[in-house]
Amino acid sequence: MTEIPEHLLKRAAEARSRMTGGGGGDAEAAAPAAAPAPAAAPATPAPVIAEEPAAPEPVAAYVEAGLSRKRVPVWIIPVLLFLPLWAIFYVGYLERPPAEGGGLLAEGAEVYATSCAGCHGGTGGGGTGHQLNGGEVLLTFPSAAAGGAFDGIADHLAWVANGTAGTDALSPLGYGDPARPGGGRVPGGLAQMSGFGGSLSAEELVAVVYYERFTHGGLEAEAAQTELHVLEEVVHLIDEEGLDLGAGVAVEEIQAIVDEARAVAGAGGESAAG
Ligand code: HEC
């Protein structure tokens, strides 16, 4: 705001006093200068000025609010920068097809990497333990969903739960398909594998078995879908009935759960198709 020069104010006051007939010339010229000065406020005895003091003195409420308001916290900056990234990941997560990427397969890959890869190789090529990739694991535990004569899922689950010693105790004659090319497997035939029934949850165990069957065994798409549905149902039944795939679980017990899961999954598939 620009101030009106003193001499102009004076001239205006003189002109005004000339028009009104003079008299209060001095008083009127002083008024504009005196008004903004806060010193005028305490002069209470003068009745005319006494009405005014409220206006110039307190800071307006909105200015005061602005001054006392808390500043935007510094941490909000990284949070705002991160927000778009989060949105992208979140949308990506929602769009991922549940049967393919997420669920059992992803969980199984994690379990395999931490608990099994050390002996069977990162890609299942073998080491201390048997080679699993190139379809080898499905020669030992064939897929009924892919038309295998021997139904290998329950044996596969029981093997991983029990390991060499546990399997030897339950079925010393062998595990997996007895008609396996190259001869049926016998516990201790290669070396010792410990059982994982005690250290993995039932879901983790089912997940790593599905991972091996899908990734190393090379299940065809349709058989993979069927096995996935059956194994998801197995997890569901185990949860529901409070069962466990702990060490010492017999193949027959697992087979009963697999059969029940197949019935449920099969019924679901038929009703969905019809
Ligand atoms: C300490 C090394 C070691 C670890 C760790 C290990 N295995 Fe094994 N695995 C073996 C050995 C050794 C055998 C053969 C056992 C025998 O001859 O009795 C085997 C056999 C197998 C077989 C049967 C393969 C066939 O064709 O006969 C499967 C399936 C298997 N392991 C899965 C797993 C899974 C799943 C994990 C992780 C949860 C795992 N293994 C962790 C050493 C290991």
Please indicate, yes or no, if residue 269 is contained in any of the structural domains: yes
CA distances from residue 184 to 150, 153, 189 in whole angstroms, order as listed: 12, 16, 10
Give backbone dihedrals phi and psi of 194, rounded to 5 degrees, phi first.
Answer: -80, 155
Mean of per-residue pLDDT scores for the chain: 84
Q: Using CA positions, which residue lies closest to atom 5 of ligand 1?
A: 116
- Ligand 1 centroid to Cα of residue 150, in Å, is 20
Provide the angle, in degrees to the nearest 10, between the axes of the packed helices 25-34 and 6-20.
140
- Ligand 1 centroid to Cα of residue 160, in Å, is 7
Please indicate, yes or no, if residue 229 is contained in any of the structural domains: yes
Domain that holds residue 143: 99-273
> What are the tens digits of pLDDT across the range 200-245?
999 999 999 999 999 999 999 999 999 999 999 999 999 999 888 8
Please indicate, yes or no, if residue 254 is contained in any of the structural domains: yes
How much of the chain, in percent, has pLDDT values that exceed 90? 55
Cα–Cα distance measured from residue 155 to residue 180, given in angstroms and rounded to the nearest whole number: 13
Q: Using CA positions, which residue lies closest to atom 3 of ligand 1?
A: 119
- Say yes or no to pLDDT of 21 above 70: no
Q: What count of residues does the chain have?
A: 274
Please indicate, yes or no, if residue 266 is contained in any of the structural domains: yes
What token pair was written down for 256? 């009963």
Q: Give residue 64's pLDDT band: very low, low, confident or very high (50, 70, 90).
A: confident
Please indicate, yes or no, if residue 78 is contained in any of the structural domains: no
> What are the tens digits of pLDDT across the range 121-142?
999 999 999 999 999 999 999 9
* Residue among 116, 132, 121 nearest 217 (CA): 132
Mark 236-260 as b/e (b = at least 16 C-beta within 10 Å): ebbeeeebbbbbbbebebbbebbee
Domain count, the chain: 1
Please indicate, yes or no, if residue 58 is contained in any of the structural domains: no
Burial category of 48 from C-beta neighbours within 10 Å (exposed 0-12, middle 13-18, buried 19 and up)? exposed
Please indicate, yes or no, if residue 40 is contained in any of the structural domains: no
- Say yes or no to pLDDT of 186 above 60: yes
Please indicate, yes or no, if residue 110 is contained in any of the structural domains: yes
Q: Using CA positions, which residue lies closest to atom 22 of ligand 1?
A: 130
Q: Evaluate if pTM is beyond 0.85.
A: no
- Say yes or no to pLDDT of 105 above 70: yes
- Say yes or no to pLDDT of 92 above 80: no
**Residue 152: what pLDDT?**
97
Long-range contacts of 157-160 (CB under 8 A, 24+ apart): 157/205, 157/206, 157/209, 157/245, 157/254, 157/258, 158/249, 158/250, 158/251, 158/254, 160/195, 160/196, 160/197, 160/200, 160/205, 160/208, 160/209
- Say yes or no to pLDDT of 48 above 60: no
Q: What is the mean pLDDT of residues 155-164?
A: 97
- Ligand 1 centroid to Cα of residue 245, in Å, is 17
